[in-house]
Structure 1
Amino acid sequence: MPVDIDKINAQIEEKSSIIEPLLSEASKAVIGQRYMLERMLIAILCDGHILLEGVPGLAKTTAVTALSQAIKADFRRIQFTPDLLPADLTGTQIYRQSDGQFYTRKGPVFANIILADEINRAPAKVQSALLEAMQEKQVTIGDETYQLPQPFLVLATQNPIEQEGTYPLPEAQLDRFMLKISVGYPTKEQERQILDLKTNPKAAEAINSVISPDSIFQLREVISQIYIDQKVKDYIVEVVHTTRHPSVINADLASLINFGSSPRATIALALAARAQAFLKGRGYVTPQDVKTIGMDVLRHRIIVSYEAEAQEITSEDVVKMIFDNVEVP
Structure 2
Amino acid sequence: MADTARPSRPAVTVTRALPAGVEQRMADLFAVTLNPTDTPMDRAALAAAMAEADVLVPTVTDEIDADLIAGAGERLRLIASFGAGTDHIDLKAARAKGIIVTNTPGVFTDDTADMVMALILAAPRRLAEGEALVRSKQWRGWSPTSMLGRRVSGKKLGILGMGRIGQAIAMRARGFGMEVHYHNRRRLPEVVERAVSAHWHPELDAMLTEIDFLSINCPHNAETHHMIDAERLALLGPHSYLVNVARGEIVDEAALVDALRDGRIGGAGLDVYAEEPQVSDALIALTNVVLLPHMASATVEGRDASGAKVIANIKAWADGHRPPDQVLEGWA
Give TM-score scaled by structure 2 length: 0.26
Give TM-score scaled by structure 1 length: 0.26
